[in-house]
Amino acid sequence: MIGNRLKTTILMTCIVILFGMVGALFGGQQGMLMALVIAGCMNLFAYWFSDKMVLRIYNAQAVDASSSPYLYNMVRDLSRRAGLPMPKVYIIEEAQPNAFATGRNPEHAAVAATRGILDLLSERELRGVMAHELAHIKHRDILISTIAATVAGAISMLANMGMMFGGRNDKRPNLVIALLVMILAPVAATLIQMAISRTREFSADRGGAKISGNPDALADALAKIETHTRRIPLDTAEEHPATAQMMIINPLSGGNLRGLFLTHPSTRERIARLRAMR
């Protein structure tokens, strides 16, 4: 089985190659550079400020050792086990059980848990979930996601440029090929981006199990969360679906559908991999 790190490397290589092919067809070097710079600036802003933005969107409330000793002390203990700086800790007053991590690096990171997940899970299960989120921070998954989003965005821009301007004047591509690339290239880029996201979830599961020392705890937590997220809506996620990929389980109402555009792998497969770590 190909390791998750190698899978991520292969997928990142694929999306860069796709960018080069689309750029060569429509934009040439100047068009490629322009699209990459524009997409890069947009995602650089998101990289630096997305943590504050998403926490504000979910009305997350910061807690400390006095206001929420149970959660705060748990995260502090797991952070020490992971060799990470203590992240900021937040609680979201939502009934759906879920959690996410954000922040541009381990020194500027935060973890957030909903009230629903605090009420639902046992201590051992919650430790597994928080360890999973810390693994995302340790693996710098926000950076990886930002790079993938930058290149995917640049591909979409190049395809739009091709649609508007018809390619470079000195070398217009075949009309049929151009139309196919305009339609399929952004889809392919999105598929690769989603595949990267799914691969990072597997890596965080494995890393979280090692941090907590109990893969079964995370597996049990995922089973519980999956069941409850199907029944309890998270309206904020429905209004801002781009944030769904951050959660430990897809919070959207269509999360039980299996498809290429899902940002999360099958919960059943995640649980099976965790059980195999015993």
Among 123, 100, 149, residue whose Cα is nearest residue 264: 100
Residue 151 and residue 39 in contact, taking contact as beta carbons nearer than 8 Å: yes
Phi-psi region at 83: left, alpha or beta (left = phi > 0; alpha = psi -120 to 50): left
Q: Rounded to an integer, what distance in angstroms lies between the CA atom of residue 91 and that of residue 62? A: 7
Residue 208 and residue 131 in contact, taking contact as beta carbons nearer than 8 Å: yes
Among 77, 209, 74, residue whose Cα is nearest residue 132: 209
Catalytic: 133? yes
Residue 35 and residue 23 in contact, taking contact as beta carbons nearer than 8 Å: yes
Active-site position among 93, 94, 123, 133: 133
What's the count of helices (H) and strands (E) in the chain, helices before strands?
10, 4
Q: Rounded to an integer, what distance in angstroms lies between the CA atom of residue 71 and that of residue 101? A: 14
Backbone angles phi, psi at 114, to 5 degrees: -80, 160
Q: For tokens 């990142």, what's the residue? A: 12
Residue 202 and residue 270 in contact, taking contact as beta carbons nearer than 8 Å: yes
3-class DSSP state of 264: coil
User: Which residues lie across from 113 on neighbouring strands?
Assistant: 91, 99
**Residues designated as active site:** 133
